[in-house]
């Protein structure tokens, strides 16, 4: 009886203490203790493995983010609960037999930030491991360029896209002077939550020896910069008052354009008035001719007007000028009394009339 008990005890000890006799359902999940850092736009691996090494081919594997299922694997089939992840995540199926259940994540986005859990399940056993994923975005090299015409002050602009989180932008000179407080800086966020930064700075001739724009990642503290040197002649190409002069010149031009229609209107109005006066005088002269022809007398004392006109610009318009002549008739004068006629003289000299 005692011998039989001793043999049973030895068998149980062998089962629990020799590796070859261990139950395969006993394992642990190994995941990182520190956050995994992913770069926006790149690919990364979310590490997870079974310890001790066991084949996971016949196990059920799931991955979740912030407690929401993003990927499932069972009996060789994949499952996606959200199309957001489809085509971006997957296991290394060739590594499952080695206990590697890590998840591959492609085209990393800022919205992927969060807490990830690796779950491994057998028919009788379950283990999981959780870790954090942080996202960073390193933007493009800054573009630094002139954004104004030459003058006594010149506007510089520095811009870069693709950062996360928001970067720190600084201005300075090659001599070490900080110009950041003189700058105007703005940020914008694109459709995938990456941050763009844009800054403008007005510089004068005293800053001509070189200006730099530095953009630093707020977490990793890595930075990139661009610099520009401005030639002395660029500040003297235009005098300090170029803006004022340009405004005056523009206003002068506008004034001329507005005055042209007014001048045409006044000219036409004057032409109509002169034409009307001309017709009136011609009518009076016709009456005088009829009177002399019928009676032989000059009956009227009074003022007579000599009128002349000439075409300008086109045959439709005439300039007219006139000179008034005073005629006093003391008594009737007959043609047969010795006077053949009376002459009221005037002559045109260029564009002016003079009496004779």
Tokens of 61: 């594997």
Q: What is the CATH number of domain 143-236?
A: 2.60.40.10
- In angstroms, the CA 157 to CA 180 distance is 13
Helical H segments across 220-241, by residue range: 232-236
Closest by CA to 323, choosing from 307, 344, 338, is 307
- In angstroms, the CA 116 to CA 103 distance is 10
CB 281 within 8 A of CB 307: yes
H or E stretch at 303: strand 302-312
Confidence of residue 303 (pLDDT cuts 50, 70, 90): low
- In angstroms, the CA 164 to CA 179 distance is 24
Closest by CA to 322, choosing from 346, 286, 356, is 346
Q: What does the pLDDT read at residue 315?
A: 39
- In angstroms, the CA 131 to CA 47 distance is 9
Given this chain, do its domains 2-136 and 143-236 carry the same CATH topology?
yes
Confidence of residue 103 (pLDDT cuts 50, 70, 90): very high
In degrees, rounded to 5, the angle at the alpha carbon of residue 326 between the alpha carbons of residues 325 and 329 is 135
Percent of the chain whose predicted confidence (pLDDT) is above 70: 63
Kindly tell me if the per-residue pLDDT of 335 is higher than 90: no
Kindly tell me if the per-residue pLDDT of 111 is higher than 90: yes
Q: What is the pTM of this model?
A: 0.57
CATH class of 2-136: mainly beta
C-alpha distances (whole Å) from 105 to each of 63, 79, 186, 305 are 12, 15, 32, 105
CB 129 within 8 A of CB 31: yes
Q: Mind listing the pLDDT tens digit for each residue in 204-220?
A: 888 877 899 999 999 99
Residue 22: alpha-carbon gap to chain centroid:
68
Q: What does the pLDDT read at residue 4?
A: 40
Exposure string (b/e) for 169-200, b if CB count within 10 Å is 16 or more?
bbbbbeeeeebeeebebeeeeeeeebbbbbbb
- Which of 20-29, 100-109, 171-180 ranks highest by mean pLDDT? 100-109
Kindly tell me if the per-residue pLDDT of 181 is higher than 90: yes
Closest by CA to 87, choosing from 71, 99, 100, is 71
Closest by CA to 173, choosing from 209, 202, 204, is 209
Query: What ranges do the domains of the chain cover?
Result: 2-136, 143-236, 274-355
């Amino acid at each position: 009886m005692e011998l039989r008990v001793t043999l049973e005890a030895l068998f149980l000890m062998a089962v629990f203490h020799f590796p070859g006799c261990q139950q395969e359902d006993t394992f642990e999940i190994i995941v990182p203790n520190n956050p995994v850092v992913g770069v926006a736009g790149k690919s990364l691996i979310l590490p997870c493995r079974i310890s001790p090494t066991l084949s996971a081919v016949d196990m059920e594997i799931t991955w979740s983010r912030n407690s929401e299922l993003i990927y499932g694997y069972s009996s060789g089939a994949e499952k996606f609960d959200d199309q957001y992840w489809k085509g971006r995540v997957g296991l290394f199926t060739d590594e499952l037999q080695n206990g590697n259940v890590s998840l591959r994540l492609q085209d990393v986005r800022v919205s992927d930030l969060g807490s990830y859990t690796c779950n491994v399940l057998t028919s009788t056993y379950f283990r999981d491991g959780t870790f954090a994923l942080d996202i960073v975005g390193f933007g493009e090299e800054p573009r630094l360029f002139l954004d104004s015409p030459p003058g006594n002050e010149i506007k510089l602009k520095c811009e870069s896209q693709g950062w996360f989180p928001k970067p720190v932008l600084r201005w300075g000179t090659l001599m070490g002077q900080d110009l950041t407080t003189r700058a105007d800086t703005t940020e914008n966020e694109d459709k995938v939550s990456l941050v763009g930064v844009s800054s403008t700075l007005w510089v004068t001739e005293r800053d001509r020896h070189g200006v730099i724009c530095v953009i630093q990642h707020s977490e990793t503290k890595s930075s990139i910069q661009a610099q520009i040197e401005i030639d002395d002649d660029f500040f003297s190409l235009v005098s300090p008052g170029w803006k004022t002069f340009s405004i005056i010149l523009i206003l002068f031009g506008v004034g001329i354009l507005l005055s042209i229609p007014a001048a045409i209107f006044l000219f036409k109005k004057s032409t109509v008035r002169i034409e009307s006066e001309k017709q009136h005088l011609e009518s009076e002269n016709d009456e005088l001719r009829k009177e002399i022809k019928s009676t032989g007398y000059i009956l009227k004392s009074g003022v007579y007007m000599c009128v002349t006109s000439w075409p300008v610009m086109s045959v439709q318009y005439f300039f007219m000028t006139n000179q008034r002549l005073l005629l006093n008739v003391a008594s009737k004068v007959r043609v047969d009394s010795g006077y053949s006629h009376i002459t009221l003289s005037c002559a045109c000299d260029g564009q002016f009339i003079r009496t004779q």
